[in-house]
Every structure is written in structure tokens, then in C-alpha cells.
Amino acid sequence: MAKELLKGNIAFAEAAIRAGLQAYFGYPITPQTEALEWMSSRMPELGRAFVQAESELGAINMVYGAACTGARVMTSSSSPGISLMMEGISYIAGTEVPAVIVNVARGGPGLGNIAPAQGDYNQIVHGGGHGDYYPIVLAPANIQELIDQTVLSFDLAEKYRSVVFLLIDGVLGQMMEPAELPPMRPISNKVPDWAVHGDAGRDKRILNSLYINPVDQEKVDIRLLKRWMTIKANEVRFKSYYTEDAEYLVVGFGTAGRVALSAVRAARAKGIKVGLFRPITLAPYPEKELEELSRKMKGILVVEMNNGQMLDDVMRITKGRVPVEFYGRPGGIVPLPDEVLVEIEQVLSNPLSLDGDPRERWLSRVEL
């Protein structure tokens, strides 16, 4: 298939359809609404299920119902809508049924704004819903990755009976880039052996997230943790750039990682030995890979479009062995490559510290 100019929201919607999506339920919210609109024409045209729900709460519970039948199902939303979905996401995780959720994140908290942001990192990566559960979280940085990882999401969701998030932002949702869509996959007729499907000739099946006896719930929670350990061992994905001889490392994901790559290239042009580490799976996080890489570094700069959320994970993973600095643009601002370059040079030219909170040093540098 040839490359075509594709908008992010439409690219992931069409990629999902070609991956065999059987049902989509959503609610309009900027900056992801084009996905819902695309689904509203494409899904009925293909004889597949589409409902514009009464709310994100309705949408996620429709996803929950469809997921229980074993169908490939997804929803997409943006930050405030994802917050509303958290109830259903916890139930889906507790019931161990597969579902794919796209968060085209925007500035927050609260109603915030409709500009691109990464302030949902903690909510998506470290939970959000109640109870012990572990969603897989993918963070593409361009439209082609978004397409490829959408297809991957469904395979991972089904393989592990897990919730899979695609965590992108308004930039990736709204921007257009040349990219190639996958071929149309046929819809699977296979009904999983756990699905509530209303079939004749077998005992009844129940799907729920209710274990009234704590002894049973403990078993489920431990099973979920063990499954997560398998996912951690097998599904880590990341990209590194210019790290072979690097003395300094920039760490960033999604759009921030992409901007940081431009800054790293500009720094390289100036002869600065700096590389970029861009996690693609935010969960499971490429902990071992970052930890090993960090041992070779004199310093690390974490760049995010938030107040420093992944920063805490980087500091946990590097265990205080390497000085870590932070540069963030929260609230819906996308950093410029030049700003990141200034921060890289700043890391090089100032004495680095293993102590204190990098956010405090960042705040002392920024003027607002």
C-alpha cells in the first residue's frame, strides 16, 4: 500500500478498522472528534457496530459489554473524557477482557484546554481507576507509529486479555503526515473460550469483576500481577538515537520525544555528545534498558509536556546514580527544539547534582 497524507485521528481510526475492529463507542471531545466522525461513516458502511454514546461513561460501558462478547472493540477520547471512563476501565481490567482505548490528551487539570499535553501520564501509566491493575500503554511519536501501534494494541489486548492505551496528544491527533495504512484484515469469527456470547450446547458463562470473598480477589490480583510480569518480560518497546558514544541522555516520549530528537540533532551538529531515549511502551516501561544506558551517562535531561511525571519514573529507575534534570512545558504548550537545546547546553555547562528535586531547579530557571 502506498503512503498517503493522513491526519492522526483518522489514521488510528482507519488502522483499527483494518485491524478487524468490530465495534466502536465514543463521545465527541476535542481534539479527538475526527476519530468518532470517521467511525460514524466507516463502521456502518462495513456492517460493524457504531454508537455515539450519551457520555464517555456510556461509551466505556458499551465497550465493556462488547468486549465481554470477545469482539474487537475500542473507544477514543481526550483527557476529561478519559477521567470519566476510569470507572469502566477498572471494571474491564478486573473482568480481564481486552479493550483498546486512545487518549488524545489535552491540557489540564479540569476542563483545561484543547491544546496538546502529556499531563495524563500518571493517570494512564500508573492507574487512574481503582484497584490493582496494569494497563499496557503505548506512546507513538508520529503518524506511522500511531498506525502500527494501533494494530499492535489489539493483538496485545487479546493476547493478555488486557486494557491497552494509546497515549497520544493533540499534536498527533491533529497533524497530517504521509503514512501507510495496513491491509484490511478479515474479522475473526473465532469466539474466545471465555466470551459471553449466548451460544448453544455449553454451560453458561459469567463475566464479572466481583469476587465477594477476599481470598478469591487476592488470587485474581496476584494473577494480574503475574501476567503483568510476563508482559514486562516480553513487550518492552523503545527507541534510542545517538546513544553509542553519548555522554548525556535526553529522555522523552511521544511529541516531547520527537521535539527532543530535533534538539539532540542540533546539539550533535554542535559537537555535543548527547543521545535520546524514547520509550514507546510507557507501561511496561523499558526500565532495564534505561538503567543500563544511564550508567554510561554524565547526566540525564527529562523533557515532558507536563510538570514532570515520567521524571519520577526515570529517577526511580536510575536510582540516584546519575544526575537528572528536567524541562517541562505543561498546560498545553509544545516545547520548541531551540528551548530543549538551551536546556541540553545548560545541563552541560552547570555543575550537576544528585540531590534535591529537579523540578525545583527547573522552576528556578523558568520565568512565568
Partner 1 sequence: MSLSVEINETAVYERPESLMDCLTHYCPGCTHGVAHRLIAEVIDEMGVREQTIGVAPVGCAVFAYNYFNFDFVEAAHGRAPAMATGIKRVLPDRMVMTYQGDGDLASIGTAEIVAAAARAENITVIFINNATYGMTGGQMAPTTLPGQVTASSPSGRDVENAGYPIRVSEMLSKLEGASYVVRRSLHDPKNIRQAKKAIRTAFEVQRNGLGFSMVELLSSCPTNWGMKPVDALRWIETNMVPFYPLGDYKVHPLVNELKF
User: How far is residue 368's CA from residue 363's CA, in Å, rounded to a whole number?
Assistant: 9
Task: State phi, psi for 52 to the nearest 5 degrees.
Answer: -85, 110
Residue 368 binds partner 1, judged by CB under 8 A: no
Q: How far is the CB of 17 from partner 1 (least distance, A)?
A: 15
Q: How far is the CB of 213 from partner 1 (least distance, A)?
A: 12
Residue span binding partner 1 (CB under 8 A) among the ranges 22-30, 134-142, 149-157, 268-276: 22-30
Identity of the residue, 65 or 182, whose beta carbon is nearer to partner 1 in the bound complex: 65
Grid coordinates standing for 123? Answer: 493517570
Grid coordinates standing for 254? Answer: 511521544
Q: How far is the CB of 158 from partner 1 (least distance, A)?
A: 15
Residue 275 binds partner 1, judged by CB under 8 A: no
Residue whose C-alpha is closest to residue 100's, from 167, 181, 184: 167
Task: State phi, psi for 303 to the nearest 5 degrees.
Answer: -120, 125
Give the one residue of 168, 196, 340, 347 binding partner 1; rule: CB under 8 A. Answer: 196
Q: How far is the CB of 27 from partner 1 (least distance, A)?
A: 11
Identity of the residue, 131 or 330, whose beta carbon is nearer to partner 1 in the bound complex: 131
Packing angle, helices 310-318 and 358-365, rounded to 10: 130
Write out the DSSP string of 169-203.
Answer: EHHHHH-EEEE-PPPPPPPP-PPPTT-----SSS-
Per-residue string for binding with partner 1, 50-79, x by CB under 8 A?
-x-xxx-xxx-xxxxxxxxx-x-x------
Residue 85 binds partner 1, judged by CB under 8 A: no
The C-alpha angle with vertex 74 and arms to 31 and 18, in degrees rounded to 5, equals 95
Q: How many residues bind partner 1 (CB under 8 A)?
A: 39
Q: How far is the CB of 13 from partner 1 (least distance, A)?
A: 17
User: Which of the residues 91 through 110 are near partner 1 (CB under 8 A)?
Assistant: 91, 95
Q: Is 342 within 8 Å of 270 (Cβ atoms)?
A: no
For 61, 207, 261, the CA distances from 24, given in Å and listed in that order, are 12, 20, 34
User: How far is residue 255's CA from residue 174's CA, in Å, rounded to a whole number?
Assistant: 12
User: Which of the residues 24 through 43 are near partner 1 (CB under 8 A)?
Assistant: 25
Residue span binding partner 1 (CB under 8 A) among the ranges 46-54, 150-158, 258-266, 326-334: 46-54
Q: How far is the CB of 222 from partner 1 (least distance, A)?
A: 21
Question: Greatest CA span in the chain, whole angstroms?
Answer: 73
Identity of the residue, 22 or 281, whose beta carbon is nearer to partner 1 in the bound complex: 22
Identity of the residue, 21 or 303, whose beta carbon is nearer to partner 1 in the bound complex: 21
Q: How far is the CB of 220 from partner 1 (least distance, A)?
A: 14
Q: How far is the CB of 48 from partner 1 (least distance, A)?
A: 9
Identity of the residue, 71 or 156, whose beta carbon is nearer to partner 1 in the bound complex: 71
Residue 234 binds partner 1, judged by CB under 8 A: no
User: How far is residue 368's CA from residue 364's CA, in Å, rounded to a whole number?
Assistant: 10
User: How far is residue 50's CA from residue 208's CA, in Å, rounded to a whole number?
Assistant: 24
Prior bond to 109 cis, omega within 30?
A: yes
The HSE-up count of residue 150 (CA atoms within 13 Å, CB side) is: 31
Identity of the residue, 131 or 337, whose beta carbon is nearer to partner 1 in the bound complex: 131
Identity of the residue, 129 or 284, whose beta carbon is nearer to partner 1 in the bound complex: 129
Give the one residue of 186, 198, 214, 356 binding partner 1; rule: CB under 8 A. Answer: 198
The number of beta carbons lying within 10 Å of the beta carbon of residue 140 is 26
Q: How far is the CB of 288 from partner 1 (least distance, A)?
A: 37
Whose grid coordinates read 490493582? 132
Binding residues for partner 1, rule: CB under 8 A, are 22-23, 25, 49, 51, 53-55, 57-59, 61-69, 71, 73, 87-88, 91, 95, 196-201, 204-210
